[in-house]
């Protein structure tokens, strides 16, 4: 399918139009309708779904972020008033607390199967999502929320946080033996999101200050040094590692990842608002991150965002997962509110046109988790449907003031 050569310039912002808003709400409901009936694994956690929306064979291994993100999404559903959501929250919170939480050594194990720990390592990425789940669950009064929030905060502060750098280390063995030699932006980016949610849930300034320090390191210093390409991989002193070769394309891909530039664009503006608009560098950085992502990461021939670029800005992994364009929708929404321009409105429409034409699975519901270079559904990285997290937030963020997290805006 060729890239659109025309993007409507009809007057008025799309996100203000009742029809567009109703369409976004309907898409969010379709996502919930896909997951609600089948997602709960009776042995704990949630099933991954196959392309038709049924439990995916071989999905007995449950990584922690899948459960934590489901809790966050169903808190959103509960705040919206969607019946059945509280059961999903309770199921996920209990699995995090009673199964992923390591009663022997402390912290939260990365993945479990029906027999217990599968990968018992303690990863910053996973702990960031536990913090997000606990912070979100606190907003609906879940009985485990305060205990989990206190517990994971202590672990993050005592085990992961490196105050000399203003960011977290990456991972440990189950017994807290360090895995040395690597620092990553992805875990710190998601921790920034979770720290903001924790600040909104508790008003504890320490969460906000840590989020600001991470953003200053990764965006204001390291990304700025790279002409606002967000580096993914670093050594222990937070020097950029441009030679890093991926051993896990899903969580640590080689090169740079424009989808993360888009994610940081939104998070930086959200952090600017939460911090009282006191950091002057943040709005311009958010705008530049978005512009660089569409200049370098967007496929001008066929549309969609390439997954990765090399350091010469050439597409490396040319397939197009769902989450970068979902994050683009959230980022451009925040930009339209805080840095309004015809450029941002044009991209808002282009992004949603591409999602509607290529990413939405009209036969089975939900979104295609991956398209190839020609925008044809593919499965090189993912075996089945994507979870709710990215697509749901893309649909809902435009419906609320771009002043904080969705849970805070809805609640």
**Catalytic positions, please?**
260, 390
Neighbour-count burial for 164-180, b at 16+ CB within 10 Å, e otherwise: ebbbbbbbbebeeeeee
CA 193/CA 269 separation, integer angstroms: 11
Q: Is 344:13 a contact under the CB 8 Å cutoff?
A: no
CA 179/CA 165 separation, integer angstroms: 17
* 225 exposure class (CB count in 10 Å sphere: 0-12, 13-18, 19+): exposed
Q: Is 135:193 a contact under the CB 8 Å cutoff?
A: no
Helices 185-202 and 145-155 pack at an angle, to 10 degrees, of 140
Where is 233: in which H helix or E strand?
A: strand 233-234
Residue 116 neighbours by CB under 8 Å, 6+ apart: none
Sequence-distant contacts of 236-242: CB under 8 A, at least 24 apart: 236/180, 236/181, 236/182, 236/183, 237/165, 238/165, 238/167, 238/183, 242/311
208 three-class SS = helix
* 233 exposure class (CB count in 10 Å sphere: 0-12, 13-18, 19+): buried
48 three-class SS = coil
DSSP secondary-structure letter at 365?
S
CA 393/CA 373 separation, integer angstroms: 24
Q: Which of 64, 68, 70 is nearest to 38 (CA)?
A: 70
């Amino acid at each position: 399918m060729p890239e659109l050569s025309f993007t409507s310039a009809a007057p008025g912002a799309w996100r203000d139009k009742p029809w567009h808003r109703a369409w976004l709400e309907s898409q969010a409901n379709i996502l919930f309708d896909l997951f609600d009936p089948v997602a709960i694994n009776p042995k704990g956690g949630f099933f991954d779904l196959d392309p038709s929306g049924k439990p995916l064979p071989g999905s007995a291994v449950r990584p922690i972020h899948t459960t934590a993100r489901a809790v966050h999404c169903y808190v959103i559903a509960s705040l919206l008033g969607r019946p059945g959501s509280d059961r999903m929250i309770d199921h996920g919170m209990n699995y995090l607390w009673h199964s992923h939480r390591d009663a022997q050594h402390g912290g939260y194990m990365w993945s479990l199967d029906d027999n217990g720990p599968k990968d018992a390592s303690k990863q910053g990425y996973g702990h960031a999502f536990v913090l997000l789940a606990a912070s979100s669950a606190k907003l609906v009064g879940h009985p485990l929320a305060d205990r989990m929030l206190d517990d994971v905060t202590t672990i993050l502060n005592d085990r992961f946080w490196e105050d000399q750098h203003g960011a977290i280390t990456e991972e440990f063995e189950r017994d807290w033996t360090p895995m040395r030699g690597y620092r990553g932006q992805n875990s710190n980016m998601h921790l920034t999101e979770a720290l903001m949610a924790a600040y909104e849930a508790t008003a504890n300034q320490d969460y906000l200050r840590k989020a600001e320090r991470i953003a200053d390191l990764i965006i204001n210093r390291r990304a700025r040094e790279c002409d606002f390409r967000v580096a993914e991989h670093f050594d222990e002193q937070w020097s950029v590692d441009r030679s890093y070769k991926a051993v896990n394309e899903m969580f640590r891909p080689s090169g740079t990842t424009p989808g993360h530039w888009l994610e940081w664009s939104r998070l930086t503006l959200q952090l600017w608002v939460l911090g009282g608009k006191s950091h002057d560098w943040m709005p311009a950085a958010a705008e530049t991150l978005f512009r660089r992502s569409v200049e370098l990461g967007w496929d001008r021939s066929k549309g969609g965002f390439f997954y990765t670029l090399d350091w010469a800005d050439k597409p490396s992994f040319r397939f197009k997962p769902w989450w970068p364009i979902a994050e683009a929708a959230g980022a451009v929404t925040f930009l339209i509110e805080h840095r309004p321009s015809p450029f941002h409105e044009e991209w808002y429409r282009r992004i949603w046109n591409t999602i509607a034409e290529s990413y939405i699975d009209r036969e089975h519901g939900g979104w295609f988790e991956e398209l190839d270079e020609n925008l044809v559904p593919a499965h090189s990285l993912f075996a089945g449907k994507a979870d709710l997290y990215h697509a749901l937030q893309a649909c809902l963020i435009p419906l609320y003031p771009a002043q904080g997290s969705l849970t805070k805006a809805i609640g």
